[in-house]
Amino acid sequence: MDDVSPPKVSIIVATLNSERTIDDCLKSILELNYPEDFLEIVVVDGCSKDATVKIAQKYPVKVISAPLNAPAAYNYAMKMVSNDVLGFIDADAKVEKEWLNKLITYLDNPQVAGVSGGIETWNTENALARIIGYDLKNRYARLKKYVVRVATMNLLLKKSLIEEVGGFDENLPSQYDTDLGFRITSRGYKILFEPSATCYHFNRSTVSGYFRQQLQYGKNTTKLYLKHANLIKGDEITDFGMNIQPFLILAVIAFFLLGIPEALRQLWYASAFVLALIVVYYVISAVRLSIKFKDVTAMLLVVLYFVRAFAWFSGAAVTTVRFLVGGRR
């Protein structure tokens, strides 16, 4: 039997007001089927106002409190750990016991910078969370062996390569993982996707919570595209069809407003036509997922798609206005 020791791994968990999930998140990490002496766990809390820190301190992990967003928390934690293999697990996620074993072997290849696992829904009892999970699972099903980027929800990366490309961009409170993945793979390194290594994510359970999340994505995706314009063409996770939806929402609103004067009233027909196209596309997509996952509640995705598109449009509008007037990007 091979007696070679496995790589030492530092797992970083960035948190903020995660009292609902941090307990199970840390339990899953501590229950990984991996030598205890070869694991280091660091929790960086962004000054939570709930019981997150108190819960985390019950476990044999290093807990740091600092007013940092997620990418800044990762950069900060990287300076404190000595291991080259870094694991990133979101505070609202938990992993199966073999998650690390299934991923770690891929990093033996010097050209492989990182590897991520598949995503399942944690809180399936909530209908909204469940259908968000259907959407995510469907998008992740399009991934091939090699990817340009994956979320830090569950991800192993080599610290040396993160440092080589300049670390996480702290000006992107979300979408920082897309940016980092693009910078890493642009240098010829590979990021792999191993769907059998399972992570369970606690999806948003209210429409308002989902809207706020997607609004931030809209703001930061626009920043991302200002930084890397060619990313607007999309990828397997967020394809071009998703990226153009905020522009279609803009067209619906613009045609309607321009058609308010009676002389231009015919523009309302254009507005209605674009809106009808969006509705048809959303209904067809929802029907497909309803059939795929054998769950009629997936038809609620029609509403969710509108919420997401409008949130992305609103976020993009905010960032664009700030950029044009010379404010913060």
- In the chain, the amino acid numbered 311 is A
| pLDDT for the residue 218 | 94
Output the pTM of the full model: 0.92
What is the rounded radius of gyration, in angstroms, for the C-alpha atoms of the chain? 21
| pLDDT for the residue 3 | 63
| pLDDT for the residue 323 | 82
Region label for 326, one of left (φ > 0), alpha (ψ between -120 and 50) or beta (otherwise): left
Distance CA 196, CA 233 (A): 28
CB 79 within 8 A of CB 176: no
Residue 235 CB partners (closer than 8 Å, separation 6+) = 147, 148, 149
| pLDDT for the residue 33 | 97
Distance CA 74, CA 159 (A): 11
| pLDDT for the residue 327 | 57
Provide the 3-class DSSP secondary structure of residue 173: coil
Q: How far is CA 291 from the centre of its chain?
A: 25
Name the CATH superfamily, with its identifier, for domain 9-205: Spore Coat Polysaccharide Biosynthesis Protein SpsA; Chain A (3.90.550.10)
pLDDT in tens, the chain (329 residues): 356 789 999 999 999 999 999 999 999 999 999 999 999 999 999 999 999 999 999 999 999 999 999 999 999 999 999 899 999 999 999 999 999 999 999 999 999 999 999 999 999 999 999 999 999 999 999 999 999 888 899 999 999 999 999 999 999 999 999 999 999 999 999 999 999 999 999 999 999 999 999 999 999 999 999 899 888 888 888 989 999 999 999 999 999 999 999 999 999 999 999 999 999 999 999 999 999 999 999 999 999 999 999 999 999 999 988 888 875 54
Task: Using the structure block, give the residue that is written with the tokens 């931030």.
Answer: 216
Distance CA 64, CA 50 (A): 15
